Every structure is written in structure tokens, then in C-alpha cells.
A and B are shown apart, each in its own frame.
Chain A
Amino acid sequence: MASPTLAPPDRLPLRRPESGRWVGGVGAGLAVHLDVPVAAVRAVLALLALSGPVGLALYVFWWVSIPSGDAADVARDTAPAARKKLSRGLVVERARALPLTDVAVAVLLLAGAVLLVASRNGMRVDVRWVLPVLVVLAGVGLAWSQLDKVERGRLLSGGRTPGGLVRLVAGVVLVLVGVLLLVGRGEPVGALVTSGAAAVAVLGGVAIVLAPWWLRLGAQLRFEREARARESERADIAAHLHDSVLQTLALIRRGSGDADQVARLARAQERELREWLYSDRPVAGTSVAADLRAVVAEVEDGRAGRGGPAVAVDTVVVGDCAPSATTTALLQATREALVNAVAHGAPPVSLYLEVGQDSIDVFVRDRGDGFDVDAIPTDRFGVRESVLGRVRRRGGEATITSSPDRGTEVHLRVPHEPSTENGRGA
């Protein structure tokens, strides 16, 4: 648990820490909250408990009413996200909390023992109210055991366990019966039944009035929890990104003399950030556009331009569809064309992919000096086989236009099977 010296300057929230507690964690929690030594708090609490039932009751009240948890964690979680550090550090698994049911049983036994001791010592104990009180306590314990953190989470997430519900109902019934017995001591049975029915009717009416509030509260809580889960997922992503940026910066600082390497690192990092910040991330194997970006990333990272420096590929994608054997061949051909453009052409290199209704078109363009297309020797496997052949075998077309002043543009077109149609802009 957080020591007071390490705690933030303002007061920490009141929580019962799950580690370092002696009985219920009340002393430790109070110590953190009030910023005083644990030993002093414990001494005061022990004195109070020994001095009379009031101290004991106070302790039990705190035990039940203070939620368990780590005060420092809670303070951190409630701080505004913009002020928090993004990295969350390593999560250490904590021991599970003491179950409240055991505590309730212990309290009941303790109460019985106190009563027995008192009656033995000659105090006149009216036993007729002992049983109802015991029944009420048992019911309260049973119902409050539902307040256990884990159970509450399960209730809110909708997975209401039948066991939990039974315990709750049984607890409420026990409390009702106990209260009736306590209040209706000495009354005739008929009157008890009548008043019991009246009480249930009143409770029913109140329940009907409160039900909408309760339902709305539940829904709101659930919504907030989901929002918080999403928020924390986002924070995780942000932390991951910042981590990768840090590593890139470290690499850049180490190799700052090598301009090409720096440019390449910067470009790779820029691409990654862009992908995370500005585009949705489709599930792998569902998007040709995403596959194309992966191809571009590989070419940008792995290939140097004619002069040695890394070349950025200006990519524009219109439409999208699910990958197929044809699009895989198209992307392989695109990759070869890009490699050629980066290695032999001149930047900027432009890449345009359009998924139309009948066809998928790819244009790869560079601003190099161009070359004579007809003069490609038949044994130059690069262009002829890996680019043109691949596409033509899939029933597509491939054309290369090249001129000294306009650079080179490779146009690849394959038929688009309707079966893989995934809708434009999907």
C-alpha cells in the first residue's frame, strides 16, 4: 500500500486497502486517508472497541460502508485523463478480499457470545428480542454479501448469477421477518399477518415508484463502465504509440549522422502514427486497402531510391473489398512495380488503387526519366514477368506508359468478381 510520504499532497480517498490489513482494513485505510501513522489509528480503534459496544459498532460500520481498494489507485483513476501519465506500468495481481459473508457470520457469533456472557453475569436479557435481532442480522449479512466488489461487477455487467439473486431475496425476506417479529412482539398472530401484508404492500408500492430510477441508474452505471473500459483501451493504445515513438527517437539520436537512416525511421514512425491516429484498423484479411498499405510500408522500409535515400510513396485508395486470389496477385504485381519505381524512377512516387464495380485498378507512377517500354529485354524478368505476367494470368491487363518528361506510369487492372464485393467505402 502507498505510504503517506509518497502520496499526492491532497487527501487520498477513504478506502480499505486489501494488503496490509489486520481485521477489516479500516485502520490502514483511515491512516492513509488522514495521513497519520497506522499504529496510532489502530491503537485508537482498539481502545474504542474495548471501551464499549459503540467503538465496536463504529468499526463494523466503517468496515461495511468503506469500499475496499487501494486509495492511491483510486486517486489516480479519478484524476482527469489529460493530467495522468499514459503508461500504466506493470499491473500486480492482488490477493482477493475477505468475503463479507464470513465476516457477517463472525459478527453474529460474536453477538451471541456477548449476550451469553452478559446473561451469565446476571444482566437480565430479554431473550424475546434476541431471536428477531439475530434474524435481521443474518438477513442483512446475506443481502450485504452482494456488495462484494466482484459480485457487484457481475451484477452490473448483466450476468446476474442465480445464486446471488437467491441470497439477496433470502436476505430481504429474513430482514422482513425479523423486523416483524421485533416490532410485533406480543401481538396476536392475526394482527401480525395483517400488518405484514400491509408492510409488503407498502414496500411493493415504493418499489414500483423507485423501479424506473433503479433501472436507469443500473443502465447508466453499465454505460459508464463500458465507456471507462473503452477509455482505458484508448489509453493503452496511446501508451503503446508513445513508447514506439520514444524508441524511434532513441534510434534516431543514436544514428543521427546517417541522414538516410533517419529519414527512413521518421517515415516508418510517421506511417505507424498515421495509421493509429487517422484510420480505422480493419480485421486482418478483410481489406485490400489495408493489405496495400502493408505492401507500401514494406517497400518504403526496405528499399532505397536511386540516390540511396528512402522514398515515400504517396498512396490514395478509393473503395475497398475483401481480398481474393486475384487481388493477392494484383498486390504482388503492385509491389514489384513499386520496387521498380523506387529503385529506378525518381520521387515522388504515387500509388492509386480504385476498387470499382467491374474492375480493380492500380496506378504506380514515378517522375523518373522514363524508359523505352518496347526495349525491355525478354529476359528482364523483373517487369515482364513479375508485374505484367502476374496480372495477365489473372485475366487482367497491364500497361506501361513512359516518357522522359512525364516519368513512368504502370497501370494494372484486374476484373473484380462480384462475389467478393464488399461495398464501396466499406
Chain B
Amino acid sequence: MTEPATPRTPRTPDDAAVPDLPVDVVLVDDHLMFRAGVRASLDERVRVVAEAATVDEAVEVIGAHVPRVVLLDVHLPGGAGGGGAEVLTRLAHLRGSTTFLALSVSDAAQDVVAVIRAGARGYVTKAISGPDLSDAVVRVAGGDAVFSPRLAGFVLDAFGTAPADLAVHDDELDRLSAREQEVMRLIARGFSYREVASELFISIKTVETHVSAVLRKLQLSSRHELTRWAAARRLL
């Protein structure tokens, strides 16, 4: 998702009032048992409207239902072999109405970065608990990005942690601002958005803005360091 602000009002599970629930979700994963497990663990804020097991099936089902959120496994059979990233690319025209949350057992940098750069709004590992996953779904439905500690670590690794790596202006694509770096570091340390907000004396909204900005940079940056880092890990 390239546009920084969606017309929908951002909602978070931290806010008390969350309108138009439950969120419609299509669940894409090639393991039947895993789909059943996820379905059972999601709470009433989320409604699974359809499931798909392969790339082609996913493209078809998502195109037919146009759900608010897609829970997308990174490694999927079928299609041209591109897995979740291929689904994202083939459904690029749905980006305005559907957001994708990558869900994978893999925590390899290449998988994470591939789906994020293909347009996913967040990345969580399959070890996530049911309530946390529901939180994440509601969060991406509200237009926010979902960063796991691991993803925040990748971002810091890719963009650099040294003071020289900081962006002078906030809009520089190739560097994180000092604030963004701080936010990423706290998320990597296991802080929730709420804890980050109280640690930095900012609002949760501001934290979400920073995270969305970082996600955008991760998707669009052509930073030399990023490509070098990616090449060292054989990504992109």
C-alpha cells in the first residue's frame, strides 16, 4: 500500500470504540489443520468468510469476496511458485479495499521482506496467540501496520542503527528518522504499541504513524544499504 493515509478512520484495539465489527477475513494457507486452528483461535471481532489453499485458489477466492483483510501464508503451492508474494502481486488492484497480513511459520529475512515489499501491511509468525492475531487483524483493517519484534529487527538491520544512518528529513525514503528508529528499537525489544507510546511520551496514534511510515520506507526504499543487505541475504 503506497498511499500513506487511507480514507478509513484508523482504529486500534486499544481504542474503546471500534465500529463495523466483525472484520471479514479470507484465510489463505495450504495446511488444513493450521487453517482450522486459526479459525478456532480467532475471537468474535473477526469473521472468516472463506479459505484458500493455493496461489490460484487464493486469487480467485479473494477476488470473489473482496474481504477487508487477508491472512496470507508466505509459502503457498501453485501459481508460478511465488507463494504469498505472488498473490499480492496478482491482486495489486485490490489494494485500496483489501489489506494483507502475512502469516508465516518462517521468520527468515527473505520471506518477511519479500511479502512486505510486495505490499503486505504486516507480518506475524504462526506462533502468535489467538487474541494477538485478532488484534493484528483489527489493526490492519484500520489501516495500520503490524510489526512483530522480528520484523522491527529486520528493519533496523536493513536501514542501519548508527547515528549516521538517520534521516535528516522525515520524508527521506532511504533512512529512518530518529523517532522511527527509537520506535523500531522498542518494538524489537518486545514493547506493544501502547508501551512504546508511554515510553516515548507520545500517543498511540503517533506510534502507528511512525510504524506506517517505516513500512512505506521498507516497501519503497531503493537504499543502497538495503540492496546490499538484501544481496548478502539473497533477497529481492
Binding site for B on A (CB under 8 A): 274, 277-279, 312, 314, 316-319, 348, 350, 352, 354, 356-357, 363, 365, 406, 409, 424-426
Contact = CB atoms under 8 A, between A and B. Distances in A.
Nearest to A349: B190
Contacts of A317: 153
Contacts of A278: 106-108, 111
Contact of A318 (B106, B107, B111, B153): B153
Contact of B161 (A277, A316, A356): A356
A314 B157 contact: no
A277 B106 contact: yes
A318 B161 contact: yes
Contacts of B188: 316, 318, 352, 354
B76 interface: no
Given A354-B156, A354-B185, A409-B189, A277 B108 contact: yes
Given A277-B108, A279-B108, A354-B185, A314 B195 contact: no
B107 A352 contact: no
Nearest to A317: B153
Contacts of B190: 314, 348, 350, 352, 365
B69 to A, nearest CB: 24
Interface string B159-197: 011100000000000000000000001001110000100
Of the listed residues A278, A348, A356, A365, the one surrounded by the most CB atoms of chain B closer than 10 A to its CB is: A278
Nearest to B151: A316
The size bracket of the interface on B is 20 to 34
A334 to B, nearest CB: 14
Q: Could you tell me the dominant secondary structure of chain A's interface residues?
A: mixed
A357 B162 contact: yes
A318 B189 contact: no
A277 B156 CA distance: 22
Q: Could you tell me the dominant secondary structure of chain B's interface residues?
A: helix
A389 B160 CA distance: 30
A316 B160 contact: no
Contacts of B117: none
A354 B159 CA distance: 13
Interface of B: 106-108, 111, 127, 149-150, 152-153, 156-158, 160-162, 185, 188-190, 195, 229, 232
Contacts of A406: 195
Given A278-B106, A363-B189, A425 B157 contact: yes
A409 B232 CA distance: 33
Of the listed residues A316, A356, A409, the one surrounded by the most CB atoms of chain B closer than 10 A to its CB is: A316
A409 B199 CA distance: 13
Contacts of B157: 318-319, 424-425
Contacts of A352: 149, 153, 185, 188-190
Contacts of A357: 162
Contacts of B107: 274, 278
Given A279-B108, A363-B189, A406-B195, A319 B152 contact: no
Nearest to A352: B189
B189 A424 contact: no
A348 B185 CA distance: 17
B149 A356 contact: no
A274 B190 CA distance: 20
Nearest to A348: B190
Contacts of A424: 157, 160-162
Contact of B149 (A319, A350, A354): A350
B189 A365 contact: yes
Nearest to A366: B190
A81 to B, nearest CB: 16
Of the listed residues A317, A352, A356, A365, the one surrounded by the most CB atoms of chain B closer than 10 A to its CB is: A352
